[in-house]
Amino acid sequence: MKPILLATGLSLGRGGRRLVRDLDLQIRPGECWMVIGPNGSGKTTLLKAIAGLMAAEAGDIQLSGTSLRELDARQRALRLGLVFQHGNAGLHNSTLELVMSGHHPRRRHWWDTPGEIETAQQALTEVGLGGLARQDSQTLSGGELRRAEIARLLVQDPTLALLDEPFNHLDIGQQVAMIRLLKRHFLRPQHALLMVVHDLNMVTQAASHCLLLYGDGRWAAGPVAEIATRETLSALYHYPVEEYRAPGGPLWTVAWEPESQG
């Protein structure tokens, strides 16, 4: 099966530091990838490079067989959608107008069609914000803005959805609802998910594959069951991680140590 994303020999740096060295990554239709690693290890940098928002130091990125360098902004937006780590409500638009902007890559007209409005309203309903369509997007809470941005991603419907810490500001119930919604929408033929997260249990419970970034150039990628082990996760975070068995898969917790009394 032809990969949606093919990255070969990808090297990334920031501030004079080499974060990722010679990364080879293939994401195929129907896969849900999650990227984990310590702070500053290059997770956001990787997503920006894949989205074409920053240049890699070396290597190549292909989307469905076409080099990223050969795609203009509209073509990239048809293939890639990005939810940033920090939300941005933009201008004083309504929440519905914020979500409607997901239609732009496919638009050939300047007006809002009834079908586009219906699609955006439906997306808002799916994320639990159906009653806030007319509310000024500037007045949304952090969690509401995050869900509105996910609704915009649903409307955009890119081949590969990129999300950078998409569940911050969300309570545990909303996190579960949003990951289920994203998987239902994007894990279908010719679509895939790539998300940066910090929750190890979300990786083992919801992802099919994971990418570990160590921040010193090293990386590991593959199916979750092979990559997310006690040994690799403990080495990744430089702290012991303990595994507990659960019906849906392993659960992880930090091995807390008593504080010194001296």
Place of tokens 């419970």: 205
Q: Give me the mean pLDDT over the 139-165 stretch.
A: 95
Measured in Å, how far apart are the chain's first and last C-alpha atoms?
59
Residue 258: the pLDDT is 53
Question: Please, which residues have CB within 8 angstroms of residue 175's CB and are 6 or more apart in sequence?
Answer: 167, 202
- What average pLDDT does range 31-49 have in this prediction? 96
- Least trusted range by pLDDT, from 80-84, 114-118, 229-233, 254-258: 254-258
| Mean pLDDT across 168-192 | 93
At 106 the pLDDT is 83
CATH number of 5-254: 3.40.50.300
Among 5-9, 219-223, 226-230, whose mean pLDDT is lowest? 226-230
Mean pLDDT, rounded, for 54-69: 93
- Provide φ and ψ at 246, rounded to 5°: -140, 160
Residue 150, burial from CB neighbour count under 10 angstroms (0-12, 13-18, 19+): buried
Nearest CA to 157 out of 133, 132, 180, 184 is that of 184
For the chain, which residues make up each domain, given as ranges?
5-254
* pLDDT given for residue 262 in this prediction: 47
Strand order in the sheet with 219-223: 80-83, 160-164, 192-196, 32-36, 209-213, 219-223
Q: How much is the pLDDT for 239?
A: 87
Per-residue confidence band for 247, with pLDDT thresholds at 50, 70 and 90? low
| DSSP states of the chain | ---SEEEEEEEEEETTEEEEEEEEEEE-TT-EEEEE-STTSSHHHHHHHHTTSS--SEEEEEETTEEGGG--HHHHHHHEEEE-SS----SS-BHHHHHHGGGGGG-SSSSPPHHHHHHHHHHHHHTT-GGGTTSBGGG--HHHHHHHHHHHHHHH--SEEEEESTTTT--HHHHHHHHHHHHHHHSSTT-EEEEE---HHHHHHH-SEEEEE-SSB-EEEEEHHHHS-HHHHHHHHTS-EEEEEETTEEEEEE---PPP--
Positive/negative CA dihedral, 51, 187, 194, 83: positive
Q: Which of 51, 44, 59 is nearest to 14 (CA)?
A: 44
pLDDT of 34 above 70: yes
This prediction has a pTM of 0.90
Kindly tell me the sign of the dihedral angle through the C-alpha atoms of 133, 185, 33, 178.
positive
Task: State how far the Cα of 19 lies from the Cα of 16, in Å rounded to an integer.
Answer: 9
- List of residues 6+ apart from 218 with CB closer than 8 A: 21
